[in-house]
Structures are given as C-alpha cells and as structure tokens.
Structure 1
Amino acid sequence: MSPPSTTPLRRVLIVEDEPKLAAVVSDYLKAAAFETRIVGDGRHVVDAVKADKPDLVLLDLMLPGRDGLDVCRALRAFSDVPIVMMTAKVEEIDRLIGLELGADDYICKPFSPREVVARVKAILRRSQRSDTAAAEAQSSDAGLVINEERYTASFNDQLLDLTPVEFRLLKTLAAAPGRVFSRDQLLDNLYTDHRVVTDRTVDSHIKNLRRKLDAASPEQELIRSIYGVGYKLEL
C-alpha cells in the first residue's frame, strides 16, 4: 500500500448566506480534495481570510451585513487571494464593477456544483503557473525587486505603491523582460473571465503603473507600447 499523500489540501472559503447551497458546494469541493470553511455574513469575511489564509474565496454578491463588492474591495486592500464571485445579478455593469475591484472570475446562479469545482481548479492552476513564472523574476540587475511574500515591489530601492492588479501586471511583464505581451495575454494573467473586461482596462492599468515607475526612474521609460501588439518591459 502506498503511503498517504503529505501534500496539504487547498483551502476554499465559501461566503454564501444560503445554508443549503453553501453545504452542497462544500460537499462537492471536499469530494475533490479541498478543505472548506463556510461564512454566511459579509462582516466576518475579512477576519476569516486573515485567520485561515485560504487559497481561494468563493464570494456571493448579495450578503447580509456587508455586500460582496464591498467585501472584495476590503480583501484586495491586503490580499491577492483569488476571488470568484457568485451572483444571480448578471448585468454586465455588475460584472465589470466586480472585476475592476479585483475579482478573478464570475459564476452566475443557478450553477452546477461541478462547474464551481472545475472553475476553482482552473483558477488555482492558473494562479500556480503565474506564481512560478513570477518567482523566476524576483529581481533583476536593473534594480527591479518583486517580493511576493510581502506583496511589494521596488525599483532603484524606491518602494512602489501598487494596487493588487498593478502588482500582478508588473509581475507578468517582469517574468520576461523584453517580451511583447498582447493585451489578451495580460488579461489572462490579471483576470480569468477576460471576456467582460475591455482593452481599455489594461491600458488604464498600464498608464497608472507607468506613472509610478516613472516616479522612481524619470529618465528611463520602462514600459514601452508596441503599436497594434501590446506592451513590454525594458530593464
């Protein structure tokens, strides 16, 4: 008989105020070898994430105490944990608002619990690939240092005040200096449900990231636009 696996189970925090639905999703995730915790009140989510450090958060949009969008905003103030919003509100404006606040994906109710499990696995695989690529680009001779554990980045010893999305964007570009990334490729590393995010979203984040890098190195243009293609980081 082979020895039991010592690989720790991935943890999913389920934020859902419908007990039956939360229990069903939890059962399916446990059957797929995930650990789960259920929180039914929006006011308790931040403390749960800080205490448990889950690998992913399934976040209902309509919650008692504190709505999902506000919770997402609060989580993104200190954590880059993947967030999947669960909602019956399918209007595009709600989807855009959620993604702009830092959600990684959306799943609309009613949904199949199997679909939730598949989506969770896909996002965690993508997150792991992104982390691996970024780990290879922790620092460079040109003065860029990315610290994933502390979730900080600095250039020329000057700390960059980045949002979570800007941090992921810089991390992606820094994984391959000189490589031209298309907007779609950048979106794939920023959001999972890239179909509801426009090219202008990437351009807006690039603009903000450029401004912060320029403040640390006014004489050097680090992010260059390649007309009709995308962006690259030059170090």
Structure 2
Amino acid sequence: MNTVLVVDDDSEIRDIIHVYLRNEGYHVIEAADGEEALKVIESTPVQLVILDVMMPRMDGIKTCLKIREVSDTPLIMLSAKEEDIDKITGLTTGADDYMTKPFNPLELLARVKAQFRRQALIGKADFNSLLLIKDLVIDKSKHSVKVKGIDIPVTPLEFAILVLLASHPGQVFSSEHIYESVWKEPFGNSDNTVMVHIRNLREKLDDDPRNPQYIKTVWGVGYKIE
C-alpha cells in the first residue's frame, strides 16, 4: 500500500484529501505544517507528498527544499497563488506537479495516480546500462547521476528527462515531445513545466551556461545533449 503524506494547515482540506485517497486504497498520513512533515519523512517511508505552500512555522517552499535534501519522493504542491511565477517557483524548488486552490479533489486524485503510474513505468524500464557523455555518467540501474565522479541529486522527473535526452545525443526535442514522453500525458499548455525542469537540470549539471558540455537550450523550445 502506497503511503501519501498530506501537509496542510487547514484541517478541512486535509480531511477531504484523506477521504478521497483512502477510498482509492492509499495509506494517508497528515501533517499540519512543514516541521511536522519533515519529522514524518525522517521516521516513515512515504511514496508521495501533497504539500501546501502557505503554512505557519515553515512554509511549503522551505519544506520542499528540505525534503529534496534527503528524498526524491514525488511531490505535488498546492497553493492559492495562481500566477506563473508562483508555479515556476514551486517547480524550481523541486515539486513534480503544482495545483492551485480551490481544486477539484478528483483532479488531485488523478494527478496522484499519474505520479504513481510514472514511477511504475520507471521501475519497469530496462536499466542495464550506463549512459556516458564526457564527464556525465547516468546509471539507470541505480537511478543516479554523476559529474566528474560527484553525485548530482535529481528528482525522478529530472532523471527521466535526462535519460530521454542522453539516449538521443545531438537530437533536438520540442517541449511537447519531452512532456508527452516523460509525463505520459497530453501536452496541453505545459511549456513552462518543461522549461523549469530543463533549467533545473542545467543548473545542477553545469553552473556555466556558456559551457556546451552538458545540457543546453537551443532555439527556444528545443533541447539537446551535446
């Protein structure tokens, strides 16, 4: 049974999410703020986190950053803020998905299922070989990334994007192709989502955007490994 951690200071929202998830067979743990959530993650295996942004003591952005220091567990962020910059901030800190409040519980449930489905697909993939590009080593069997022997922490979605690109060196991919290949969903209006994850990868793999050794953006919406 997959365990989902629901983090929100609003008990009514936690209760609603809890009921929908429980009815689908998930084990649900609740936390009222970021500090409580971190204690849960330290002591209990959690397969997915649903995290509110606006909370007392420790907000969702800081909590997400702390979670990413110790775990690559899929994370869906909830927020009453609906501006693009807020979504970009959430994804940049390590969230895998972002929903604005008020939200439809059935849509949230669908996104939870999509995250678990994506993890199942990753787990079934053929991970018997290494991908080597100069100093970049992607070990698909260990789900790890190294640059010059140094471990680079990446989220599951970042890893999937990197494997896609590294498996086709020199090929240019559109945002739509990347999204539908990695997210396994219709593209829709998801350009910002792909761009944020690509930017995160660039920052993690290469601090100097002038260096073409690793991942770089070309011609607006295309991406490739050189």
TM-score, normalised by the number of residues in structure 1: 0.73
| 1:145-224 equivalences in 2 (<5 Å) | 145-146=138-139, 152-154=144-146, 158-164=149-155, 167-174=159-166, 180-187=172-179, 189=182, 195=190, 197=192, 201=196, 204-205=199-200, 207-208=202-203, 211=206, 221=213
Unaligned runs of 5+ residues in structure 2 are: none
Q: Verify the 8 A CA contact 1:92 1:196 in the aligned structure 2.
A: no
Q: Secondary structure at the match of 1:62?
A: coil
Compute the displacement of 1:29 (Å).
Answer: 0.5
Compute the displacement of 1:101 (Å).
Answer: 0.9
Q: Verify the 8 A CA contact 1:130 1:172 in the aligned structure 2.
A: no
The separation in 2 between residues aligned to 1:86 and 1:74, in whole angstroms, is 17
* Larger Rg computed on CA atoms: 1
Compute the displacement of 1:130 (Å).
Answer: 3.5
Partner of 1:12: 4
The separation in 2 between residues aligned to 1:60 and 1:205, in whole angstroms, is 21
Partner of 1:113: 105
1:84 aligns with 2:79: no
Q: Verify the 8 A CA contact 1:99 1:191 in the aligned structure 2.
A: no
Partner of 1:33: 25
Q: Verify the 8 A CA contact 2:169 2:225 in the aligned structure 1.
A: yes
Q: Verify the 8 A CA contact 2:174 2:221 in the aligned structure 1.
A: yes
| 1:51-90 equivalences in 2 (<5 Å) | 51-90=43-82
Q: 2:130 aligns with which of 106, 115, 139?
A: 139
Q: Secondary structure at the match of 1:72?
A: helix
Compute the displacement of 1:229 (Å).
Answer: 7.3
The separation in 1 between residues aligned to 2:20 and 2:198, in whole angstroms, is 39
The separation in 2 between residues aligned to 1:72 and 1:152, in whole angstroms, is 20
The separation in 2 between residues aligned to 1:46 and 1:132, in whole angstroms, is 29
Question: How many residue pairs end up in the alignment?
Answer: 219
The separation in 2 between residues aligned to 1:110 and 1:184, in whole angstroms, is 27
Q: Verify the 8 A CA contact 2:72 2:154 in the aligned structure 1.
A: no
TM-score, normalised by the number of residues in structure 2: 0.76
Identity %: 30
Q: 1:24 aligns with which of 16, 29, 40?
A: 16
Partner of 2:90: 98
